[in-house]
Structure 1
Amino acid sequence: MYRPRARTSPKAHQTKARTSTPKKEVPTVSAPETQTIEYPIRINRYLSLKNYCTRRKADVLIESGKVFINHKKATLGDKVEASDVVEVNLPRDFAPETRTYYAYNKPVGVVTNLPQAGEKSIINVTKFPKKVFPIGRLDKDSRGLIILTDDGRITDKLLNPKYVHSKEYIVRVHKTIGENFIGRMSSGITLDDGYTTKPCEVEQLDDQHFRIVLTEGKKRQIRRMCLALNYEVMDLMRVRIMNIELGKLREGQYREIKGEDLAELLKSLSMVNPTK
């Protein structure tokens, strides 16, 4: 029986938060840009992407008269152009918002979306130090890696198929893999709804196990691909999302994503580490 080899991640490290000396008239704090900004942009979203605070807290700062655009007090709904100068009058103890990211090994039987009657979600079965939510899905009958976070900004970046992010799975089917199976799976399969999957990387591991790397995420895609070739999936485990690997995490356990792993993940999403 194939047993996936545990992979280790680089050692995590943390960097100290940078601070800047506030100006006398209109104090400002230098905050990192968390993703590419498309102008014009509403001032509260601009502050959020610049990692000052959440949009809601930005609205409070604006209403309090602490936000300036080109040296004039901003109002709710104002938009910022790339050439504008934005200043924020912040308390001395202000610190940019920090976000949290977890890698979690989901057991079979646990759902990633809203649970129906009798079902249990990740949040029901595991207590996390912070309020987080899962990014994406992993069906109830599957197990393995899923990312949870309190950073809603990465959802579209991670899930939108136009960004072509890779996810790796180890799959066991109910019978011996035939000689044409790997070639047909890798070249694309027409599913029951008429959609043809994109070409992907597939490698046979033993008589009944194979590894597959997808860059798209149709509902129950791997199971439907196998079914189209008259194979039934008996076990499906996700072992990697982009550079984040399941590693030695036991089922039901989680670890915080940080240091080099987090920096690489966010860089791949065209973002920067908001904890720096």
Structure 2
Amino acid sequence: MEETVRLNKFLSEKGICSRREADRLVDEGKVMVNGVCAVMGQKVSSADEIVVDGKKVSTKQVKPVLIAVNKPAGIVCTTARFEGEKNIVDMVKYPTRIYPIGRLDKESEGLILMTNLGDLANEISKASNSHEKEYVVTVNNQVTESFLDKMRRGMHLEELNADTMPCVCTKTGNREFHIILKQGLNRQIRRMCAACGYRVETLKRIRIMNIHLGNIPQGNFRNVTDAEFDKLIKDL
């Protein structure tokens, strides 16, 4: 008998979308299993005929893909399509189906990883894994040691009812600083700055774990090297 797995895991491993996106597609009735609308939590195997958004899912082994993308501001990090929005999948135009690992809000720019490896995406995205992400931020007022100390110590964000973890903050310009986070609360840096009386003007992610943005032109991507990939896997 064919081994069965949850449908969202199956789709992520086939490079169709993330598990979260798979659940959304199932909920919207866009996934069929053997001609019948899929249900949340359903188990499937490679013997099943699975159709996502009108396209049959191949049962062939997927060639692993991991790319580093320099996302411009104005691009949304989702595989979904919304009127008036341009998503990162359409921007990259990769020849096979890939999806973003995690999010970078629409107004922000910089590094985002895209893959067809579901388990890798889940491991990098897990908040409990405390993986480092580094950002360059410019704000509307002079960066002071008092401001940096507040950011470093962590704070309570009322709107999220959550506490930020202590982090590394370094002044790099009159109105610019670098920040290294090990968590990914919704619009965390913008909310932290606002809680200190500052407004973020530009926000760019320059590193995820050992993968650096480097000199990738905005709107372009590069393949993650074998050495980078091996180090990434080792650190997960």
Q: TM-score range by the shorter chain?
A: 0.7 to 0.9
AA at the equivalent of 1:227: A
Equivalent-residue separation in structure 2 for 1:108 and 1:98 (angstroms)? 30
Q: Which residue of 1 is the match for residue 30 of structure 2?
A: none
1:169 touches 1:238 (CA, 8 Å); kept in 2?
A: yes
The one of the two structures with greater contact order (alpha-carbon pairs below 8 A, sep at least 6) is 1
Gap runs ≥5 in structure 2: 15-42, 49-59
AA at the equivalent of 1:117: E
Q: Which residue of 2 is the match for residue 249 of structure 1?
A: 216
SS at match of 2:206: strand
Equivalent-residue separation in structure 2 for 1:127 and 1:204 (angstroms)? 37
Q: Which residue of 1 is the match for residue 107 of structure 2?
A: 141
Gap runs ≥5 in structure 1: 1-41, 64-94, 270-276
Rg (Cα) greater in structure: 1
1:189 touches 1:196 (CA, 8 Å); kept in 2?
A: yes
1:182 touches 1:203 (CA, 8 Å); kept in 2?
A: yes
Aligned-CA RMSD value: 2.3
Q: 2:177 aligns with which of 194, 200, 210?
A: 210
AA at the equivalent of 2:225: K
Q: Which stretch of the first structure deviates more once superposed, 194-203 or 217-226?
A: 194-203
Deviations 1:217-238 (A, max 9, x none): 0010000000001100000000
Equivalent-residue separation in structure 1 for 2:93 and 2:151 (angstroms)? 38
AA at the equivalent of 1:233: V
1:203 touches 1:211 (CA, 8 Å); kept in 2?
A: yes
1:115 touches 1:121 (CA, 8 Å); kept in 2?
A: yes
Q: How much has 1:258 moved relative to structure 2?
A: 2.6
Q: Judging changes above 3 Å, is the alpha-carbon distance between structure 1 residues 131 and 172 closer, same or farther for their aligned structure 2 residues?
A: same
Q: Identity of aligned pairs, percent?
A: 36
Q: 2:207 aligns with which of 240, 246, 257?
A: 240
TM-score when normalising by structure 2? 0.73
Q: Which residue of 1 is the match for residue 70 of structure 2?
A: 105
TM-score when normalising by structure 1? 0.63
Equivalent residues, number: 188
Q: Judging changes above 3 Å, is the alpha-carbon distance between structure 1 residues 136 and 96 closer, same or farther for their aligned structure 2 residues?
A: same
Deviations 1:48-95 (A, max 9, x none): x9xxx96x99634xx9xxxxxxxxxxxxxxxxxxxxxxxxxxxxxxx9
Q: How much has 1:152 moved relative to structure 2?
A: 1.0
Equivalent-residue separation in structure 2 for 1:192 and 1:59 (angstroms)? 46
SS at match of 1:59: coil
1:19-168 alignment to 2 at 5 Å?
43-44=3-4, 59-60=46-47, 97-113=62-78, 114-168=80-134
Equivalent-residue separation in structure 1 for 2:97 and 2:104 (angstroms)? 20
AA at the equivalent of 2:131: H
- Give the strand-richer structure, 1 or 2: 2
SS at match of 2:156: coil
SS at match of 1:129: coil
Equivalent-residue separation in structure 2 for 1:255 and 1:121 (angstroms)? 18
Equivalent-residue separation in structure 1 for 2:164 and 2:112 (angstroms)? 22
